[in-house]
Amino acid sequence: MTKILQALWGEALQQEKIAHAYLLVGTGTEPLIHEFVVNLFCEKDGCGECGPCLKILNGTHPDIKRVEKDGKRIKIDQIRELQLDSRYPPLEAPRKVYILKSVEDLSTEAANSLLKILESPPSYVLFLLTAESTNLLPTILSRCQTLRLSPTSPDLQKKALIERGLSEEEVEAALSIVAGIPQRFERLTPTLQEGASILEAQRSAGTQLQEKSMPELVALLAESESLIAEREVALQLLWSLREKGAFEILEAAQAISKLPIGKSDCFIEEALRWHRDLLLMMQSEEPNGMIFNQDHITELETQAAQSDPQKILRVFYQLERGHEVFQGNANLQLYFESLFLRLAE
């Protein structure tokens, strides 16, 4: 049991005095929830190898249900489905666990519906709610034990990676992927828990992507589940723009405009970090300590030597507009067509 888990739930787990609902406020909640549920369900004190542990790892445990945003909100139909499911006792474990992500995004109707079951849940039900703030209905807050988490700083991320036994090269690759963002570190955690090599995953993804057309890369971006694959696809799509013809570029722009916002925004974020690094490479004599994409430093150096800083700045500003475009009613296809053609320069 990690020190953080021990501090949050150690006594409750040991004495089996589990509350019916916890609200975790902050970033980095996913690994803590995973470890807590493992310690709660495991047959051998959090072994990671028994039947319940393997089902939790694979996301197939029948007594663990997840509720996440459907679009921009958690909707009332999702909470009604949860209420109906909670009437039936657990199939395998002593409890049923409902994990509700980003509960600050509950619709008003969904929040009121959730409140009803929080007031008088079945004895075997456990709620684990996550939020980035306590901007919730006071009545929901009053029915949960609130646990506040501190952000995971880059230094703590590096320390956590070293403690997992990663080599120096693997640590640097992981930090490049995470880019100092706690949510990205959280998404990388499942790969680390599986013991997979980050470098091998990168090399494997890179080899498979080099011969893909741009529309194929957009399709792979939509399908990518791991942070490593998603980032490599986004970068390969970015690099391909300099090599492809106008027809394929416009075809890819049309395809990416139809993706879920989270996926198209992933491309925008990776492109922003890449062009920031390019500017640093062109304008600083020793930028390496500030470069996000350290694991692709050779590609950065090559492109920086061939690029015009003024064009890079114009692209950077257009990329930043992406967040405004996503939030408004702008024509996404026209935005991506314009962006892709400018990036192709």
Kindly indicate the confidence band of residue 195, based on its pLDDT and cuts at 50, 70 and 90.
low
The percentage of residues in the chain with a pLDDT greater than 70, rounded to a whole number, is 86
Answer for the pair 46, 35: CB distance below 8 angstroms, yes or no.
yes
193 and 113 assigned to the same domain = no
User: If you average pLDDT over residues 236-263, what whole number do you get?
Assistant: 87
332 and 185 assigned to the same domain = yes
User: If you average pLDDT over residues 12-28, what whole number do you get?
Assistant: 75
Closest CA to 192 of 221, 223, 232, 163: 163
- Tens-digit pLDDT profile for residues 53-84: 888 877 899 999 999 988 888 999 999 999 99
SS (H, E, C) 101-126: CCHHHECHHHHHHHHHHHHCCCCCEE
57 and 176 assigned to the same domain = no
Total domains in the chain come to: 2
Strands 145-148 and 64-67: unpaired
In the listed set 148, 169, 187, which residue is the last one of a domain according to the structure?
A: 148
192 and 79 assigned to the same domain = no
Reduced to 3 states (helix: H, G, I; strand: E, B; else coil), residue 153 is: coil
Distance CA 33, CA 38 (A): 8
More confident residue, 2 or 110: 110
Can you say whether the dihedral through the CA atoms of 323, 327, 332, 338 is positive or negative?
negative
113 and 42 assigned to the same domain = yes
The percentage of residues in the chain with a pLDDT greater than 90, rounded to a whole number, is 19
Distance CA 259, CA 316 (A): 22
217 and 90 assigned to the same domain = no
Residue 6 has pLDDT above 60, yes or no: no
- String of DSSP letters for 225-281: -SHHHHHHHHHHHHHHTTTS-HHHHHHHHHHHHTS-HHHHHHHHHHHHHHHHHHHHH
Residue 18 has pLDDT above 60, yes or no: yes
Kindly indicate the confidence band of residue 313, based on its pLDDT and cuts at 50, 70 and 90.
confident
In the listed set 117, 148, 179, which residue is the last one of a domain according to the structure?
A: 148
181 and 298 assigned to the same domain = yes
- Tens-digit pLDDT profile for residues 88-122: 999 999 899 999 998 988 988 999 999 999 998 99
Query: How much is the pLDDT for 316?
Result: 84
Reduced to 3 states (helix: H, G, I; strand: E, B; else coil), residue 24 is: strand
257 and 314 assigned to the same domain = yes
In the listed set 113, 148, 183, which residue is the last one of a domain according to the structure?
A: 148
Residue 146 DSSP one-character state: E
98 and 174 assigned to the same domain = no
133 and 168 assigned to the same domain = no
Closest CA to 67 of 117, 118, 103, 23: 103
- Tens-digit pLDDT profile for residues 151-163: 566 777 787 778 7
Reduced to 3 states (helix: H, G, I; strand: E, B; else coil), residue 183 is: helix
Distance CA 54, CA 48 (A): 7
Q: Which of 31-40, 63-72, 190-199 has the lowest mean pLDDT?
A: 190-199
Question: What residue numbers bound the domain in which 121 lies?
Answer: 3-148
- CATH number, domain with residue 91: 3.40.50.300
Q: Which residues contact 88 (CB under 8 A, 6 or more apart)?
A: none
Q: In which element (H, E) is residue 65 found?
A: strand 64-67
What is the pTM (predicted TM-score) of this model?
0.56
Neighbours of 78 (CB within 10 A): 20
Distance CA 321, CA 319 (A): 5
Residue 251 has pLDDT above 70, yes or no: yes
139 and 249 assigned to the same domain = no
192 and 337 assigned to the same domain = yes
